Amino acid sequence: MINNQFIDCLKLIDGITIHTGDAIGADYCHDEYPGGNFAPEAVVEAKSAEEVAAVLKLCSENDVPVTVRGAGTGQVGGSVPVKGGVVLSVKGMDKILGYNEEERTLRVQPGVLLQDVKAEAEKHGLYYPPDPGEKTATIGGNAATDAGGPCAVKYGSTKDYILDAVIVLADGSITTLAGNEAVIGSEGTLAVICELTLKLVDKPKADAILLLPFMDTESCIKAAATVIGTGCAPAVVEYMDTDMVEFSGNVTGNPVFPVEMDGERVAATLMAVLEDEDDDLVMEQMEAIAELAEEMECLDILVGDTTTMKRDMWAAHDAFHTSMESGAKNSFEYNITVPAENIAEMVEWVKAHAGEKGMKAMAYAHVGTGGMHIHVASDGDKDEFKTALAELSVAVYEKCASLGGDVRGEYGIGYAKVPFSERDRWSELMEGYFNSGRDIKMAFQLIDMRHKPTDFDMTMLHFLSEMQIPYTVVLTKSDKLNKAQTAERLSLIHGELGEYAENVEIIPFSSQKREDAEKLRSVIESCL
């Protein structure tokens, strides 16, 4: 719990804005993930790296959890304060700090919106390629999740355009990282990004969009590999499920993608964007792909080569997510990555299993990178939808893993992708590990001595006891208590642990002050 003394210390930091109690808006308790709300005890708005540093130093010294937040457009609970504490908002760090004409770089703060980065690049006749769907996300959030988008097949992801970053570590120290080191993609767990230098590139001089409709999903995915392998280097290769195309077209009133061909329903459409130095070279790429049409078993090749057609096609594509939000009574998006060759299997599997639970699944995917956006929707009862969704989610993530995929997708992990039901599977994995013939001399169970042992602490001790694995209990954060408090907590913990404290070494320990370090070291050495 944050006390008044801590708040008073926060107020001493120049420049920041603090919200507590009823002044904390509901928006700080959730992002776009519909799974729940978690209220922070304080919200701090910072406008500089120095202010961020002061906040982090204070929170570190007082063991207060910090959750970094930008625009709050995430889909997985990544900026939600599941442990309370402080939400550190960088939305006010929204300045474009400068453009370097010679190096063709843009210096920005993390709160600058992606759409504003792209617009600034356009002002200088250049191009910022990363193009995740949510254009009102912050560039800091893009960096934290290493966002990609449709253009990643040709241009890569956010990390490929970050030349350096000013970051603040948990202890309040400020440093500059060259290149796209570990912080990029770490989802705010390692440091707070406070400034970024972005690389800009030449804007394509000519482009065209091809639509290739197919009668089945597998043929569509196979064709994508063929298109990518032509040597044309398409900037975008998108798989679009016809159910998604039709639903979105009905909601937006912009039905530009094919649903039927020659009286038969299309299963899926491939959208390929070709770019080059001039229209003639783009035409050569189109002709190369057209020659493969029969081999790919596509029903036709539709061309978008006028400004109006390209605008409408992109508008229809970019509306997939928002149309689900506005047009479906209940909906949820799975964002995952699987090897491109397994996209078809993943799509068909989710459609079948969602259907069994009374939901309809619709999908689109960035084929070049394997990034998938799978939406499930229903018109039924909201609570029933949530129950069915919880069951389906576990199965979806397990299927993704079985296909060699990654549940992080473009949005990251957050708390949404680690459902509590996964704990059963973790237990099985641990049991398998401990039963694998390893000669385990000692296990160390770490418990925060300031608090009552959690259910998970007790479960773990029960597990170790059942497996007959020797263990030592290490009580962390002993430096946060005085001698009288330490003695009192030791007595209480003995009682709280019950049978799990019998004939077991219990050692208070502080990593800061190295208290009882020798005692802990002797236990370790006795096992060697």
pLDDT at 421 over 50: no
pLDDT at 390 over 90: no
Specify which of 105-119, 279-293, 363-377, 457-471 reaches the highest per-range mean pLDDT: 105-119
pLDDT at 19 over 50: yes
297-349 per-position pLDDT tens digit: 899 999 998 999 999 998 899 888 888 878 889 988 888 889 989 999 999 99
- Strands 371-378, 330-337: pairing kind: antiparallel
Domain edges within the chain: 4-89, 96-202, 206-319, 328-402, 438-526
pLDDT at 286 over 80: yes
Q: What is the pLDDT of residue 423?
A: 47
Out of 134-138, 232-236, 272-276, 522-526, least confident range: 134-138
- The highest-level CATH class for domain 4-89 is alpha beta
Q: What is the pLDDT of residue 51?
A: 94
pTM over 0.75: no
Q: What is the pLDDT of residue 201?
A: 93
For residue 66 the two structure tokens come to 């910090």
411-420 per-position pLDDT tens digit: 666 665 555 3
pLDDT at 361 over 90: yes
Spatial separation of the C-alpha atoms in residues 241 and 369, rounded to whole Å: 17
Q: Are 460 and 447 in contact (CB under 8 A)?
A: no
Q: Average of pLDDT values for 349-368?
A: 93
- The highest-level CATH class for domain 438-526 is alpha beta
Instruction: Please write down the HEC assignment for all residues of 365-380.
Output: EECCCCEEEEEEEECC
Out of 112-126, 266-280, 407-421, least confident range: 407-421
Q: Average of pLDDT values for 146-152?
A: 80
Q: What is the pLDDT of residue 358?
A: 93
Segments in 455-527 forming alpha helices (H): 455-466, 483-497, 517-526
252-265 per-position pLDDT tens digit: 888 899 999 888 99
Instruction: Please write down the HEC assignment for all residues of 422-453.
Output: HHHHHHHHHHHHHCCCCCCCCEEEEEECCCCC
**4-89 matches 206-319 in fold:** no
Give the count of beta carbons closer than 10 Å to the beta carbon of residue 445. Answer: 20
- Which amino acid would we find at residue 42? A
Spatial separation of the C-alpha atoms in residues 37 and 81, rounded to whole Å: 9
Q: Average of pLDDT values for 14-31?
A: 82
Q: Average of pLDDT values for 216-235?
A: 87
**CATH, domain range 328-402:** 3.30.70.2740
For residue 249 the two structure tokens come to 């077209």
Q: What percentage of residues in the chain have a pLDDT greater than 70?
A: 88
Q: What is the pLDDT of residue 179?
A: 66
Identify the three-state secondary structure at position 176. strand
For residue 305 the two structure tokens come to 């080569």
Segments in 183-292 forming alpha helices (H): 217-228, 242-252, 279-290
Q: What is the pLDDT of residue 210?
A: 92
Out of 81-85, 167-171, 244-248, 383-387, least confident range: 81-85
For residue 14 the two structure tokens come to 């120049």
DSSP, res 70: S
Of 3.40.1790.10, 3.30.465.10, 3.40.50.720, 3.40.640.10, which CATH number belongs to 96-202? 3.30.465.10
**CATH, domain range 206-319:** 3.30.70.2190
133 or 505: whose pLDDT is higher? 505
